[in-house]
Amino acid sequence: MYFAYIIQSEKSLRYYTGSAANLEDRLNEHNHGETISTKNGIPWRLIHIERFESRSEALNKEKEIKSRGAKRYLEDISRKQLG
């Protein structure tokens, strides 16, 4: 099982999008400063998860989210759920 995810910094409110096989370990890495790109935003909270059978599907979703922008992607999902 693989995941595409969006986390948000509780400090700066910025978003980070990624993918991982072990989501719990990956989130711990983000929150313990082990990832350079998220080190300054600690603490991070998980705000969106999508599950996939293959790594390539998760990576494709990560790229899709990044190309749209995490905030816009979340807004689109919200609109679809409401309407």
The CATH number given to whatever domain includes residue 23 is 3.40.1440.10
Contact status, residue 62 vs residue 55, Cβ threshold 8 Å? no
Peptide bond connecting 43 to the previous residue in cis, omega within 30 degrees of 0: yes
Strands 2-9 and 15-20: antiparallel
Domain count, the chain: 1
* Percent over 90 (pLDDT), the chain: 93
Residue 75 belongs to domain spanning: 2-82
Average pLDDT over residues 17-36: 97
* Percent over 70 (pLDDT), the chain: 99
Indicate the SS3 state at residue 83.
coil
| Cα gap 11→9, rounded to integer Å | 5
- Does this model's pTM top 0.95? no
Per-position DSSP letters for 14-43, written without gaps between them = -EEEEEES-HHHHHHHHHTT-SGGGGGG-S
Q: What is the pLDDT of residue 83?
A: 65
